[in-house]
Amino acid sequence: MKGAVNIYKEKGFTSHDVVNIVRGLTKCKAGHTGTLDPDAEGVLPVCIGRATKIADYIMADDKEYIADVILGASTDTQDASGEILERKPFLGSLSDIHDAVRGFIGEITQMPPMYSAVKIGGKKLYEYARQGATVERKPRRVTIRDIEVLEANLPGSFKIRVGCSKGTYIRALCADIGAALGVAAHMGDLLRTKSGGFNIENAVKLADFREIVARDEIERVLIPIETALEHFPKISISAEADKWLKNGNKIPLDFVRAEIALSQGAEYLAYDAAGGLAGIFALSDAGHIKPKVMLN
């Protein structure tokens, strides 16, 4: 069994809870493709079997979220689960909010929250935070592809939809939007609606996944590796190179067929002469393609 399942993570579950449940039900190796906080909901692709090798590729894709920005109070966790640090009400208008939100489109700098899984000195930041400690962190560059205000319930809150690069902290974004408005703010509810090619419309709740596995119908929701990586360009490798291919060796370009010009360092889904997916290969500077991830 190999492929990915688009799980709808509900509140109260950690991402690791979801992986453990999927692993237990399928009796296969499993891994998630990007952590969602316990209080967050939405799309959590889980790779199964050999597909765990592509988890980092799915994790690297853009994400989309819908979040509530709560105005008037900041918290130590930057979300509704934390202790209130400051109260400062919003006295502006909806126009002010639209102006502030638009200012975050593009490449921005974020400071990883203390309550996050980023590791410093071998420990996760939230472990320091739970001990009452604050450690020095380095800001990160992330990209906000698009952001829009969906609705507003002023002066208390408004809802945003955010399309962003991997590694974006929506909690930090909500707090930073508040700072741009000159008020205290934190994140309320959070829903992940997209993760790469995985959408909330076809996400499966864990209770439904249990029933699907019990009926031995997992193939109905198992997304093939090729589908999960359908945005990758494709190449094929001739039968004469089968031995090199099976051994995971680099392969001279004389044995590679492609419908597009190959680019230095670019990655490709490579298929054998029979049409089976062999793995992810990259073009090297020595006139060869070399394996990055073997999937056959």
123-174: pLDDT as tens digits: 887 778 787 778 788 889 999 999 999 999 999 999 999 999 999 999 999 9
Q: Are 260 and 295 in contact (CB under 8 A)?
A: no
Residue 187 has pLDDT above 90, yes or no: yes
From-to residues of CATH 2.30.130.10 in the chain: 232-294
Q: Are 264 and 289 in contact (CB under 8 A)?
A: no
Q: Which two three-digit tokens encode residue 193? A: 């609606």
C-alpha angle 184-13-56 in degrees, rounded to nearest 5 = 90
Q: Which two three-digit tokens encode residue 176? A: 């930073």
Q: Which of 17, 37, 96, 242 is catalytic?
A: 37
Distance from chain centroid for Cα 124: 19
Domain 63-195 has CATH 3.30.2350.10: yes
- Please report the pLDDT score of residue 128 as a whole number: 80
From-to residues of CATH 3.30.2350.10 in the chain: 3-61+197-227, 63-195
Could you identify the residue written with the tokens 């799309």? 43
- Mean pLDDT estimate for the chain: 92
- Please report the pLDDT score of residue 179 as a whole number: 96
Torsion (CA) 284, 285, 286, 288 in degrees, nearest 10:
30
- pLDDT higher at 286 or 160: 160
Residue 248 has pLDDT above 90, yes or no: no
The alpha-helical segments, DSSP class H, found in the chain are: 15-26, 55-59, 94-102, 125-130, 170-181, 206-214, 225-228, 242-246
Residue 178 has pLDDT above 90, yes or no: yes
Query: Using one digit for the tens of pLDDT, what is the confidence trace for 50-69?
Result: 999 999 999 999 999 999 99
Range from 107-116, 125-134, 192-201 that averages highest in pLDDT: 192-201
CA distance 67 to 101: 13
- Please report the pLDDT score of residue 9 as a whole number: 97
- pLDDT higher at 101 or 111: 101
Least confident of 45-59, 81-95, 253-267: 253-267
Distances from the Cα of 118 to the Cα of 27, 65, 123, 136, 210, angstroms: 30, 20, 8, 12, 32
Buried b (16+ CB within 10 A) or exposed e, 136-168: eeeeeebebeebebeebeeeebbbbebbbebbb
- Let me know if 242 is a catalytic residue: no
Residue 116 has pLDDT above 90, yes or no: no
Fold of 3-61+197-227: Pseudouridine synthase (3.30.2350)
Strands (E), the chain: 3-9, 30-32, 41-48, 63-71, 73-75, 84-87, 106-110, 119-120, 123-124, 140-153, 157-164, 185-195, 198-199, 204-205, 234-237, 251-252, 256-258, 267-271, 277-283, 288-294
Instruction: Kindly report the number of other CB atoms within 10 A of residue 239's CB atom.
Output: 11
CA distance 15 to 25: 16
Q: What is the CATH number of domain 232-294?
A: 2.30.130.10
- pLDDT higher at 205 or 131: 205
